[in-house]
Structure 1
Amino acid sequence: MLDKIHLQNILFLDIETVPEVHKFNELDETTQSLFADKTAYQRKEDVSPEEFYHRAGIWAEFGKIVCISVGYFVIKNDIRQFRTTSFFGDEIKILQDFTNLLQNHFNSPQVVLCGHNIKEFDLPFIGRRMIIHGLEIPNKLNSIGKKPWEIPHLDTMELWKFGDYKHFTALKLLTHILGISSPKDDIDGSQVAEIYYVENDIDRIIIYCEKDVLAVAQVLLKFKRLPILTNDEVISV
């Protein structure tokens, strides 16, 4: 299957999310109660919803997207480039800009979206936030009513599972065992909220997000038995 998918027909993506507001006490009472109910099964008895709120960014109901990074291959005359770009700022604008990219440049039937654990996290999160904001879900994201083989999504974590549905492998581990530079050499996902709300350093988050996109592309090249990218082949646009 992978051999039939051309690199130029793959849009790699990753998202970074944070709690929708900085502090638990900034939520209204109803939302606080709903968050407590939602996380009750995960929290230990001695951990309050307020203490657990730093993890709110993993749920679309209580989090928001602060960055979507994408990457794609451009191959001309046997010269290979991997170009990355990011959308950031107001969440509605992030989602609209990402939709415009999909509709105007990556909407052909041959194009597939690729990421690590995107079927369980990135794509559902994007779709849910679009619904919350009243935005139209682009065709490439909309899986409602489609058969599994009709959904143009490629998940490197799912590929690594080889059908083992109880198996989870983090991107950091997968890159390590495949001999790929780690995308987590500066920060990891647990630090994004503090960097966003406390340090106000969106540029650092963008760099981190684009590194994840590049790492996924490198992993897929390994799956396809192709040489991984060199630094000279990677361009941020």
Structure 2
Amino acid sequence: MLYKLHLENILFLDIETVPEAADYEELDDVTKELWEHKTQYQRKDEITAEEFYDRAGIWAEFGKIICISVGYFHTKGDIREFRVTSFYGEEPKLLKDFKTLLNTHFKYPKNLLCAHNGKEFDFPYIARRMIINGISLPYKLDLFGKKPWEVPHLDTLELWKFGDYKHYTSLKLMSHILGIPSPKEDIDGSMVRDVYYKEGNLDRIVTYCELDVVTTAQVLLRLRNDDLLQNNEIKKV
């Protein structure tokens, strides 16, 4: 039962990813061949592997993480805060910093990770990029040998499915139908690659990522029938 969960034990997160190289021509011949093979069923016949490369950030084998934003609840008496922070920049460092957070403040069995579509995207993507970068997996991301009920992951998309495995609902749609105030985002996911490689504006991406973390927390509150966060309760730390 969701209402039995202690919100303070949940780490909400979202990641932003981009293709590992700014341009397809920067790839070596082997990687180009593997990319073409990997995407042959996703691409339409008239779309070349090079033209499809702007979507490479979706795959952990061909992309990289440029930002992990996290948020967590902190309550003291009647005062409730949702504290948000981000790890961004060079991928190895941000992954190590994120791992340190998991291994210190969110290492206990009671702690859970929560993301929208996290079980399909965020959690495995982070784990794969850690392995690619030679970083050992923290307990919260190492699922080997764990029984389904031992996996410390919450997924707001999965919660909304109610067992309907074929039904995908975006975070934006969920927030709209649940009456959650829409954050004033000036970009969307399809723009992250260009904002990163062409504009070099990582701060803009971090802001977008943090807004999604807040929205994910708001969705979980609505699923619990709790009061939504007010602006004065959201703190950047």
What TM-score, normalized by structure 1, do the two folds share?
0.99
Secondary structure of 1:40's aligned partner: coil
Q: 1:72 corresponds to which residue?
A: 72
2:26 matches 1:39:
no
Tell me how far 1:63 sits from its aligned partner.
Answer: 0.0
Q: 1:22 corresponds to which residue?
A: 22
Q: 1:164 corresponds to which residue?
A: 164
Tell me how far 1:75 sits from its aligned partner.
Answer: 0.3
Q: CA RMSD in A?
A: 0.8
Q: 1:2 corresponds to which residue?
A: 2
User: Given that residues 67 and 88 in structure 1 are in contact (C-alpha distance below 8 angstroms), is that contact kept between their aligned partners in structure 2?
Assistant: yes
2:117 matches 1:106:
no
From the superposition, tell whether residues 103 and 170 of structure 1 become closer, same or farther in structure 2 (CA, over 3 Å).
Answer: same
Q: How big is each residue's C-alpha offset from its partner over 1:145-191, in whole Å with a ceiling of 9 and x where there is no partner?
A: 11110001000000000000000000000000011123473211110
Q: Distance in 2 between matches of 1:199 and 1:119?
A: 31
Q: How big is each residue's C-alpha offset from its partner over 1:101-156, in whole Å with a ceiling of 9 and x where there is no partner?
A: 01011111111000100000000000000111110100011111111100010000
Q: 1:198 corresponds to which residue?
A: 198
* 1:127-138 paired onto structure 2 within 5 Å: 127-138=127-138
Secondary structure of 1:120's aligned partner: coil
Count of residues in correspondence between the two structures = 237
Tell me how far 1:24 sits from its aligned partner.
Answer: 0.4
Tell me how far 1:216 sits from its aligned partner.
Answer: 0.3
Letter in 1 for 2:106: F
Letter in 2 for 1:194: D
2:178 matches 1:178:
yes
Secondary structure of 1:49's aligned partner: coil
Secondary structure of 1:180's aligned partner: coil
Secondary structure of 2:50's aligned partner: helix
2:93 matches 1:90:
no
Secondary structure of 2:139's aligned partner: coil
Q: How big is each residue's C-alpha offset from its partner over 1:181-222, in whole Å with a ceiling of 9 and x where there is no partner?
A: 234732111100100000000000000000000000000000
Q: Distance in 1 between matches of 2:190 and 2:151?
A: 30
What TM-score, normalized by structure 2, do the two folds share?
0.99
Q: Which runs of 5+ in 1 are unaligned?
A: none
Q: Which runs of 5+ in 2 are unaligned?
A: none
Q: Which runs of 4+ in 1 moved over 2 A?
A: 181-185
User: Given that residues 80 and 233 in structure 2 are in contact (C-alpha distance below 8 angstroms), is that contact kept between their aligned partners in structure 1?
Assistant: yes
